[in-house]
Amino acid sequence: MALRKKISIDNVDRQILNILTQDNNISQAEVAKRIYVSAATVHVRMKRLLRLGLIQSGGLKLNYPQIGYDICVFVGILLEKTTLQSSVMNELDKVIEVVNAHHTAGIYSVLAKIICRDTEHLRQVLHQKIQNIAGIQRIETLISLEEVINRPVILLEEQEWEEEED
């Protein structure tokens, strides 16, 4: 296991992160203008934050219903044994409809989010893919009727992160 050391960010880093979490399409020059620093400063800070792993390269956020994927489901997965968590996660990673999965504490060992076209597609994913994964004892589904809140965390106070050392 790699050692971790604390990474500190200052107010400029925090402001950059807060702006970009609200709009990741904004230019570095516009970020610089908003926080009263040079574009070069923002550029250097962004490269550092990427290198340190505090931010990741972004992707597109799709409006799934607009492209025909109307069903969003959260699946609570109970395992036969907790030691099977890694192998189950590896198998879930192969199911393209699983858009994220979390190791959890509580009722479920794993909580997965699935996006499907319709209920027939969901049925196929649950019965032919997920329930066939070795180590899964039982699943419970929660169908999302509507996503009401989806926002990034706003960094309010000084933060420290741990950086892995090789």
| Residue-wise pLDDT tens digits, 47-83 | 998 888 888 776 677 889 899 999 999 999 999 998 9
Query: Minimum mean pLDDT among 17-21, 98-102, 134-138, 144-148: which range?
Result: 17-21
pTM of the model: 0.75
The Cβ of residue 67 has, within 10 Å, a number of other Cβ atoms equal to 9
Give the mean model confidence (pLDDT) for residues 6-17: 86
Domains of the chain: 11-61 (1.10.10.10), 64-144 (3.30.70.920)
State the pLDDT at residue 5: 66
